[in-house]
Amino acid sequence: MTAPSPVLPVHALPSYLQADHLGPWGIYLQQVDRVTPYLGNLARWVETLKRPKRALIVDVPIHLDNGTVAHFEGYRVQHNTSRGPGKGGVRFHQDVTLSEVMALSAWMSIKNAAVNVPYGGAKGGIRVDPKTLSRGELERMTRRYTSEIGIIIGPTKDIPAPDVNTNEQIMAWMMDTYSMNEGATSTGVVTGKPIDLGGSLGRREATGRGVYTVGAEAARRIGLEIKGARVAVQGFGNVGGVAGKLFAEAGARVVAVQDHTGAIYREAGLDVPALMAHVAETGGVAGFAPAEVLDKNKFWDVPCDILIPAALEGQITEANAGRITARLVIEGANGPTTPQADDILHDRGVLVLPDVIANAGGVTVSYFEWVQDFSSFFWTEDEINARLVKVMREAFAAVWQVAEDHKVSLRTATFIVACKRILHSRDLRGLYP
Ligand code: NAD
């Protein structure tokens, strides 16, 4: 019998990794501290979760259309690669910081482990408002960024994907730049690509489908019938639109929708396919009929059974958590609920299905895309959807069981499941990777 490994000595975290209690990295560190007592013997490895494995800061200089040179700051952070290559999106936004990218990369480690896909966690970004760039400038910036982070990404090392303000076209440029530098086409270096360049059927709808799948599982466990349930959705884009459509198809009434153009309400239920067509045509839900116009703030008071925040982070706060009437909140967006609001909802008996499992359908189908690229053999949409549903249901069942066993929230349970999987791999492998 081998003696248990000694507890690892803990050295003070470098200052830039310490919890700033307002920032996303600070919130992540608190979440890890909260689950540490449940990790048993694996807790001796927990320090590895509190430090990203690798963080790269790159300068991204480009020629602007007016002939001058502009410099942008870019990042790629690989939080953990114990279970496989890094995986996570690339965000182009003026508020991107190293702290934010670190936290997002860590949440990717948790999310990927929660749905049991063989990835670690990573994330990237450039601090830029892409709306200020021409298409040519955007392409040059994307390509230069890809070249700069090319030293650490790759189909078996770290696989980027779209996130806020990045899309299929950006992924095509990233794939092409990486491939040109390698001297051979390498479709598996990014996911979320156009179908004609090795993208996967079903990827665009995958996150919303995952939201619906685990949401329906959660509803069933608390005796909430989907047929006839009243659903309110914030954000009617890729995630919120598809989730709303699937709930409506299952017989729910989507009674309220809010997006950046306004909020609308209809007690009898909105015509979701017509609303999707209206949004595609006009850019938002404002002006849709038949529906009542809602004051933006009143959205949170709408009588409903299920609430799906699928827009931005930090939307459910101390200010509105007490007013939410839903029994079930399904986090389609990343980080829509502040920790204080989370506690308020928990105390009020509202079940919160956390982002790290609820919106993991996207990365699950990204995994399928990567597998298909490696084998150069592509699956049908039905196969993809069936496999997605299986992965999501299994992940949800494991999390639900842990929540029951330990009498903890689904967020803490998801962290317990994920951290145990990551640290078990670390335990088997040792100090590397
Ligand atoms: P999207 O751009 O397609 O849609 C965003 C929606 O949010 C739009 O309807 C927009 O009008 C709305 N919105 C923006 N600002 C708003 C505001 N101030 N108030 C209310 N609504 C506002 O984006 P998406 O891909 O649907 O992503 C939504 C969220 O889901 C983000 O948090 C994203 O990180 C997260 N997410 C997306 C995926 C994916 O695969 N797309 C995967 C995981 C997580």
Closest to 358 measured CA to CA, from 160, 114, 191? 114
pLDDT value for 2: 47
**Alpha carbon of 38 to ligand 1 centroid (Å):** 33
Which positions ≥6 away from 159 have C-beta within 8 Å?
A: 85, 86, 87, 119, 122, 153, 188, 189, 190, 191, 366, 370
**Alpha carbon of 293 to ligand 1 centroid (Å):** 21
Nearest C-alpha to atom 4 of ligand 1 is from which residue? 237
In this structure, are residues 230 and 306 in contact, taking their beta carbons and an 8 Å threshold? yes
Spatial strand order in the sheet of 54-63 = 54-63, 69-80, 121-127, 86-93, 158-162
CA–CA distance, 122 with 14 (Å, rounded to integer): 20
Given a cut of 80, is residue 3 above it in pLDDT?
no
Average per-residue pLDDT in the chain?
Answer: 94
**Alpha carbon of 227 to ligand 1 centroid (Å):** 26
Given a cut of 80, is residue 11 above it in pLDDT?
no
Closest to 216 measured CA to CA, from 26, 193, 287, 208? 208
pLDDT value for 319: 94
Q: Cβ–Cβ contacts within 10 Å for residue 40, how many?
A: 9
Confidence band for 27, pLDDT divided at 50, 70 and 90: confident
In this structure, are residues 318 and 296 in contact, taking their beta carbons and an 8 Å threshold? no
Confidence band for 8, pLDDT divided at 50, 70 and 90: low
Which positions ≥6 away from 408 have C-beta within 8 Å?
A: 38, 402, 416
pLDDT value for 1: 44
pLDDT value for 314: 87
The answer to whether 87 is a known catalytic residue is: no
Q: DSSP assignment, residue 161?
A: E
Average pLDDT over residues 276-305: 96
Given a cut of 50, is residue 22 above it in pLDDT?
yes
Nearest C-alpha to atom 1 of ligand 1 is from which residue? 237
Amino acid found at 307: L
Of the residues 96, 207, 278, 316, which should be mutated to test ligand 1's pocket, given the most ligand atoms within 8 Å of the CB? 207
Given a cut of 70, is residue 102 above it in pLDDT?
yes
pLDDT value for 10: 64
**Alpha carbon of 2 to ligand 1 centroid (Å):** 50
Given a cut of 80, is residue 338 above it in pLDDT?
yes
pLDDT, greater one: 76 or 22: 76
Task: Name all residues whose Cβ lies below 6 A of ligand 1.
Answer: 164, 207, 234-240, 258-260, 284, 310-312, 332-334, 359, 362
pLDDT tens for residues 206-263? 999 999 999 999 999 999 999 999 999 999 999 999 999 999 999 999 999 999 999 9
In this structure, are residues 364 and 115 in contact, taking their beta carbons and an 8 Å threshold? yes
Average pLDDT over residues 158-162: 97
Average pLDDT over residues 354-381: 97
**Alpha carbon of 273 to ligand 1 centroid (Å):** 18
Given a cut of 70, is residue 109 above it in pLDDT?
yes
User: CA geometry: angle at 232 spanning 228 and 358, to 5°?
Assistant: 95
Nearest C-alpha to atom 17 of ligand 1 is from which residue? 260
Please give the share of the chain, as a percent, with pLDDT higher than 90.
91
Using the atom order of ligand 1, give the atom closest to the CA of residue 335: 32
Given a cut of 80, is residue 175 above it in pLDDT?
yes
Please give the share of the chain, as a percent, with pLDDT higher than 70.
95
Of the residues 100, 260, 313, 366, which should be mutated to test ligand 1's pocket, given the most ligand atoms within 8 Å of the CB? 260
Given a cut of 50, is residue 355 above it in pLDDT?
yes
pLDDT value for 13: 64
pLDDT value for 7: 54
Nearest C-alpha to atom 28 of ligand 1 is from which residue? 311
Given a cut of 90, is residue 24 above it in pLDDT?
no
CA–CA distance, 292 with 114 (Å, rounded to integer): 39
**Which one from 50, 53, 123, 420 is the annotated catalytic residue?**
123
Q: How many residues does the chain have?
A: 433
Six token digits for residue 187: 């479709």
Rg (CA), the chain: 21
CA–CA distance, 211 with 207 (Å, rounded to integer): 6
Closest to 362 measured CA to CA, from 88, 154, 170? 88
Ordered structural domains, the chain, with CATH: 1-51 (no CATH), 53-184 (3.40.50.10860), 204-358 (3.40.50.720)
Using the atom order of ligand 1, give the atom closest to the CA of residue 360: 43
